[in-house]
Amino acid sequence: MASDTHVFAAPPPGAAADWTIPQDWDRFSDAEHGVWDTLFERQSALLPGRASDAFLRGIDVLRLSRPGIPDFAELSARLMDLTGWQVVAVPGLVPDDVFFDHLANRRFVAGNFIRRADQLDYLQEPDVFHDVFGHVPMLADPVFADYMAAYGRGGLRALEYGSLKQLARLYWYTVEFGLIEEAGALRIYGAGIVSSASESRFALEDPSPNRIGFDLKRVMRTDYRIDDFQQNYFVIPSFDELLRVTVETDFAPLYAELATLPDIAIADILAEDRVITRGTQEYALARAAE
Ligand code: HBI
Ligand code: FE
């Protein structure tokens, strides 16, 4: 999520110094568990053939001994066995340095609330459905699990260089809204897409957005929108390649170079882009005219 939207400056009452809080699973009502089950059923029916194989394999890690919102203790025990990750509860958005420190230590922070039954499709702050259904299946994949921890270490360094804005775009266009090419077709893996019924279809099937081959420097120059469907998606060739490019890149000279280059406007296409789909942008244009 955007780094400037968090509400608190210090851990709120009841939160630990690292901003975690007890999940307190028994606190959720039957209606709240029901919202999880509804969303889980809807997305798991929609995603075969649309989500990447790694995501589809990872969904099984969420099938716990009881239905409803996953109990983080049980979920973390399973994830720990697979990739060494845990899921911890936080009250909402946490400061960037706190977020990166958790990732670097293989702890994924999840919001400890769930959207209401009348908000199934849209909400601003990441709730437990986005955080757990969207992110945790990919954390069961060993390569992606390593990528997320590497991202956390990189985030802590980006803060030192004053380059958070550039690195946050990498998270946005991979972890949140990434596409991958698998067996000659596009699949979704970004948590913001796979946790949204409407964007799961839009990202793959709508003529509006650009779909462009992933290039690290290009992505780190590209603005994004947080209020509606994306106008660009970037397509990686494999998770191995995504991990490789991020661990092999020396980010210090890259940040120095990025500081000399202009940002790229959201829907622009560059001559050097590997364009997979040139979007019509009809959706964004129609929304702007409303
Ligand atoms: N906090 N709870 C939470 N979830 C996030 O995804 C998150 C955050 N704080 C900061 C943050 N993301 C950003 O730094 C990243 O999007 C880059
Ligand atoms: Fe997210």
Q: 161, 106 in Cβ contact below 8 A?
A: no
In the numeric block, the tokens 């028994």 are attached to: 26
* pLDDT at 7 (0 to 100): 59
CA–centroid distance, 111 to ligand 2, in Å, is 10
Tell me, using a 6 A CB cutoff, whether residue 267 lines ligand 1.
no
Whether 2 has a pLDDT exceeding 70, the answer reads no
pLDDT in tens, 266-284: 999 999 999 999 999 999 9
Shortest-distance ligand to the CA of residue 93: 1
pLDDT for 125 equals 84
Other CB atoms closer than 10 Å to residue 127's CB: what's the count? 25
Mean pLDDT of 73-85: 98
Report the atom number in ligand 1 closest to the C-alpha of 110: 2
pLDDT in tens, 5-45: 445 678 988 999 999 999 999 999 999 999 999 999 999 99
Q: Cα–chain-centroid distance for residue 243?
A: 15
Q: Which residue has a Cα nearest atom 17 of ligand 1?
A: 168
Confidence of residue 217 (pLDDT cuts 50, 70, 90): very high
Counting residues of the chain whose pLDDT is more than 70, the rounded percentage is: 97
Element (H, E) at 210: strand 210-213
Ligand 1 atom 5: residue of nearest CA:
1
Cα 4 to chain centroid distance, Å, stands at 17
What percent of the chain is helix, strand and coil (3-state, nearest 5)? Answer: 50, 10, 40
Q: What is the mean pLDDT of residues 168-174?
A: 97
Residue 171 CB less than 6 A away from ligand 1? yes
How confident is the model at residue 9, as a pLDDT?
78
* pLDDT tens profile 100-158: 999 999 999 999 999 999 988 877 789 999 999 999 999 999 999 999 999 999 999 99
Domains of the chain: 25-289 (1.10.800.10)
Does 93 sit in the ligand 1 pocket, CB within 6 Å?
Answer: yes
CB of 103 closer than 6 angstroms to any ligand 1 atom? no
CA distances (Å), origin 272, targets 2, 93, 209, 212: 28, 36, 18, 10
Q: Whose CA is nearest to atom 16 of ligand 1?
A: 1
Contact indicator for 216, 249 with CB cutoff of 8 Å? yes
The contacts of residue 250 (CB under 8 Å, 6+ apart) are none
Tell whether the model's pLDDT for residue 4 goes beyond 80: no
Residue 290 pLDDT exceeds 60: yes
236 lines ligand 1 (CB under 6 A): no
Distance 96 CA to ligand 1 centre (A): 6
In contact, 164 and 158? CB cutoff 8 Å:
yes
Q: What is the mean pLDDT of residues 58-85?
A: 96
Distance 271 CA to ligand 2 centre (A): 31
